[in-house]
Structure 1
Amino acid sequence: MVELDPKVVVHHLSVKKGACLVKQGQHRFRPELILLIEGELNKLIEVGFVREVKYPMWISSIVPVREKNEQIRVCVDFKNLNNACPKADFPLPFVELMIDATMGHEALSFMDASSGYNQIRMAPVDEELMAFRTLKGIYCYKVMPFSLKNAGATYQRTMQRIFDDMLHKNIECYVDDLVVKSNKREDHFHDLRKVLERLRRYQQKMNSSKCAFGVTSGKCLGFIVCQWGIEIEQAKIDAILRMLESRNIHELKSLQGKLAYLQWFISNLVGRCQLFSRLMKKDVPFQWDEAC
């Protein structure tokens, strides 16, 4: 099992005193889906991410999610457990500040962790709190799962601890996304080597299929950054152009979420969308017209 050095970080749960214990029921799945779920569960067992448990106090249910490649990813509905834990106050970086700090460099390397969250061990005392039902039995996570509350904060805190002396100089990180940056191309090999040596020291593994080394531009947090500035990712523009006129508040909120991505590129975007705010009011009939 690939994992970060437990001396550096383990993830702890802080369940509120007096929280009501919840044991979620078993979900029913179609026969063809059951085989796919069992296959994914077997993979988790094989790599050592989960183990069997017999008498858990909390039990959550699995939620199969179909990904773009039609594969099934097994997630766990930790809603009840998450509600019983206070939110961590550790701050995540401002996306716009990280983007600003990344552009304007002659050479860049983009790296993404390999199952990054799962590289962090859970505190052994908290493992069984994350028990979940399957048709094979009840299992719990030994590593930090993606859907757990405060997982992002723990990961960000870990990265800032590992790269404390490099951050904002020749590296930027947002949770499991790393960008190595060099003002001069001739310095990039040296900067990149320092980062890779640090990753090796702390036993952190990156996903080679999602890495790009020594490039002049690349995708970072949904934007295209390069030496000359930032660009809009074409896929996000196409998603807006494909949208039909909004028929209700739910669809309007979806449009607003996509338009928020463009606020850096369109002056006074908030002012231009004032009419949308009026349509969001409960006492105003929802009517999409030419003014929209």
Structure 2
Amino acid sequence: MKNFKEIQQRFSIPLDSLDPEKVTYIGASLDKPLKGQLTTFLQKNSDVFSWMAADMPGIDPNLITHKLNVNPTQKAVKQKKRTYAPNRLEAIKQEVEKLLEYVFIEEVKFPEWLANPVMVKKANGKWRMCINFTELNDVCPKD
């Protein structure tokens, strides 16, 4: 089996000739005429893709709002506050400031649920901020 990078390169579709990182992927099993039509369509409509949060400011909350289906009989859980190394704390601050700037999150006072960030080192050496929703997942009924 070929490695994943080779497969990605083979079926990746460049959407912007000025920015080689703006790519999308199409199904490997499509026939050639359909691949050509799909590639042309995606490149013509590349302006509808969002590559970062800054590309989507001001989305109406009525259009997309995340709500939790929490079992009302369960007790709310607040995780204990964690301390972070200075480099991780700086990465958290930068990510939170970016999300606040683009109005993707808002500050909540007196939350019922509180989950700590978990910092994961990416391959490029930067940090990715994830949230530990373990306790919250335990009380949300599965679909």
Which residue number in structure 1 is paired with residue 66 of structure 2?
A: 11
Question: TM-score by structure 2 length?
Answer: 0.53
- Offset of residue 82 of structure 1: 1.2
For residues 59 and 120 of structure 2, what CA distance do their matches in structure 1 show? Answer: 24
Which residue number in structure 1 is paired with residue 136 of structure 2?
A: 81
Match of 2:87 among 14, 25, 32: 32
1:16–1:67 distance in 2 versus 1, CA, 3 Å = same
Between structures 1 and 2, the one with greater strand share: 1
What one-letter code is carried by the residue in structure 1 that aligns with 2:105? Answer: V
Tell me, yes or no, if the aligned pair for 2:70 and 2:141 is still in contact at 8 Å: yes
For residues 72 and 61 of structure 2, what CA distance do their matches in structure 1 show? Answer: 30
Task: Describe how 1:82-161 pairs up with structure 2 within 5 A.
Answer: 82-88=137-143
Q: Is residue 58 of structure 1 aligned with residue 113 of structure 2?
A: yes
Which residue number in structure 2 is paired with residue 280 of structure 1?
A: none
What one-letter code is carried by the residue in structure 2 that aligns with 1:78? Answer: F
For residues 59 and 5 of structure 1, what CA distance do their matches in structure 2 show? Answer: 22
The count of corresponding residues between Structure 1 and Structure 2 is 87
Tell me, yes or no, if the aligned pair for 1:41 and 1:74 is still in contact at 8 Å: no
Match of 2:103 among 41, 48, 53: 48
Larger Rg: 1
Tell me, yes or no, if the aligned pair for 1:40 and 1:72 is still in contact at 8 Å: no
- Offset of residue 75 of structure 1: 1.2
Runs of 4 or more consecutive aligned structure 1 residues displaced over 6 Å after TM superposition: none
For residues 5 and 57 of structure 1, what CA distance do their matches in structure 2 show? Answer: 21
Percent pairwise identity = 33
What one-letter code is carried by the residue in structure 2 that aligns with 1:21? Answer: A
1:71–1:58 distance in 2 versus 1, CA, 3 Å = same
What one-letter code is carried by the residue in structure 1 that aligns with 2:95? Answer: E
1:34–1:5 distance in 2 versus 1, CA, 3 Å = closer
- Deviation per CA, 1:156-192: give whole Å up to 9, x if none: xxxxxxxxxxxxxxxxxxxxxxxxxxxxxxxxxxxxx
- Offset of residue 4 of structure 1: 7.5
For residues 79 and 85 of structure 1, what CA distance do their matches in structure 2 show? Answer: 10
Question: Cα RMSD (Å) of the superposition?
Answer: 2.0
- Offset of residue 5 of structure 1: 7.9
Secondary structure at 1:81 match in 2: helix
Could you list the runs of 5+ residues in structure 1 that have no partner in the other structure? 89-292
1:2–1:28 distance in 2 versus 1, CA, 3 Å = same
1:44–1:10 distance in 2 versus 1, CA, 3 Å = closer
Which residue number in structure 1 is paired with residue 122 of structure 2?
A: 67
Secondary structure at 1:37 match in 2: helix
Which residue number in structure 2 is paired with residue 168 of structure 1?
A: none
